[in-house]
Structure 1
Amino acid sequence: MVLQRVWTSPVMWLFYSLISGFLTDGVFVLPAPQNFSVQSTNMKHLLMWSPVSQPGETVFYSVEYQGEYESLYMSHIWIPSSQCSPTKGLECDVTDDVTATVPYNFRVRAMLASQTSAWSTLEHPFNRNSTVLTPPRMEVTEHGLHLVIELEDLGPQFEFLVAYWRSEPGATEHVKVVRSGDIPVYLETMEPGAMYCVKAQALVKAIGRRSAFSKTECVEMQGGPLPLALALFAFVGFMLILMVVLLSIWKMGQLLRYSCCPTVYLPSAVKITSPSQKLISCRKEEVDTCAVTVLSSEHLLGVWISQT
């Protein structure tokens, strides 16, 4: 009986030693992060938690999630977040992890060297259709006779409904759908001197929701018709330019014509209107003078032969 007591005591001591070591060096040495929550605005999803304090040490955190498929059919699988596993911060942007409008479970734990804490999980699964949509920031200016609208860039999932109307009783409200890539927006030509008002709201088709309308902004169109004197001056200038162009074209045609096919005119002094005129009245000693001053070289030979 004594021998049995001696044999069992070391076994129990070894067992308790292993349990004690496991509890000391095991998973749940650090306290779990507290106040774990999610904030979602305009389809940007951010997990936040309180710090785990360890004086003189840098504590890291690991974030994991389960989508609807993993939660229902593969509940033992948790996927590390693509942005913060691990991270030293106290928040994690999980926008890229939430890709569908289904419930998502999230959990976070603290890590220090080989020590880790228990997981903290969200009280309720998160669905992105609960995101808060705010009215888009908007700036309206006039350019010529157009309204130009600059809208806040909220991401590729957003579209905007832009409503505009002339500021007068009973005016018709016009609506234009604008995608994020179509900013800035140039609206149709407006009437000069009139006041126009604009408002906009954000729309996310993926979750079937839209924000409230932004604050209405009104702009007066400054453009107007050209004064009569300025219009007349512009017309006269246009006509002068047209005349110069036409005259230049005509002159260029003349130059090309005479350069390529020139016309040769004989001087009137060497023209003979009657073949026998002036030849009979010339004396023999004046033949050379008459021939030089009146006749061409072809007729000179004929005159010389007839005189001799």
Structure 2
Amino acid sequence: SCSDAWLLPSPWGISMESVNMRHLLKWRRQQSPCSSVIYSVQFQGEFELRILNGSWEDVVGCQRVTRTECDLTFDLGSDSDYNIRVRAECGRRVSPWAELGRPFNRRETILTVPAITVTTMGDALQVTFKGLPLTVGVTVTIWKRGEFVRVRILHVQYIIVLQGFFCH
């Protein structure tokens, strides 16, 4: 149980891992006499900062959770700077908020090279990608060997996980 004789320490080592537009906030738990610490995460974008007078929004999937990470992929929905903070709770004890060291912008995500498979099907090509972000723009350039002057460029925009597409 938690005692009134001590202050609940804030989480520490807060970091953001952002790969292929998946944003995962991580932190470490502090040593404390409490055996059942839970965590809550909030964010503040430019809209909350400027229009809503500096208010903070709860990350719905990361309120009063026992894990030490939070997926913010769907909460950070624009290319703006976000302040992010996390706090610990135990019983009626609440730690001070601990903030990510600097604002996070999803443009900082690390993009990896997707796996690509090209299969011929008659006079068509099936191009399949693996490991793409949930929202992505893909540019495919097609030409016959030695005929680079007859290049075809296809721009494809996807909002769901890309399984593959056909082009003639």
Which residue pairs with 1:187 in the alignment? Answer: 167
SS of equivalent to 1:83:
helix
Letter in 2 for 1:184: G
User: Is the counterpart of residue 120 in structure 1 residue 98 in structure 2?
Assistant: yes
Give the alignment of 1:16-35 within 5 angstroms. Answer: 25=4, 29-35=7-13
* Distance in structure 2 (CA, Å) of the matches to 1:89 and 1:177: 40
1:162 aligns to 2:162 (yes or no): no
The match for 2:66 among 66, 88, 95 is 88
Residues 1:185 and 1:61: Cα distance change in structure 2 (over 3 Å): same
RMSD in angstroms over aligned alpha carbons?
Answer: 2.4
Q: Does 1:146 align with 2:128?
A: no
State the aligned residue count.
162
Instruction: Give, in angstroms, the shift of residue 171 of structure 1.
Output: 5.8
1: CA distance, partners of 2:85 / 2:61 = 14
Higher relative contact order (CA 8 A, sep 6+): 2
Q: CA deviation at 1:56?
A: 7.2
Q: Which of 141, 162, 176 is the equivalent residue of 2:154?
A: 176
SS at match of 2:107: helix
Spell out the pairing of 1:93-108 with structure 2 (5 A cutoff): 93-108=71-86
Output the CA distance in 2 between the equivalents of 1:55 and 1:167: 69
Q: Is 1:59 aligned to 2:40, yes or no?
A: no
The alignment-based identity, stated in percent, is 32
* Cα distance per residue 1:232-254 (max 9 Å; x no partner): xxxxxxxxxxxxxxxxxxxxxxx
User: Which stretches in structure 2 are left out of the alignment for 5+ residues?
Assistant: none
Output aligned runs, 1:1-308, within 5 Å. Answer: 25=4, 29-54=7-32, 57-73=35-51, 74-75=53-54, 77-152=55-130, 153-155=132-134, 157-168=135-146, 172-180=150-158, 183-188=163-168
Q: What is the TM-score with the length of structure 2 in the denominator?
A: 0.83
TM-score, length-scaled by structure 1: 0.48
Kindly provide the amino acid, as one letter, of the partner of residue 186 in structure 1.
F
Larger radius of gyration: 1
- Residue-by-residue CA offset, 1:28-54 (whole Å, 9 max, x unaligned): 711111111112122211111112334
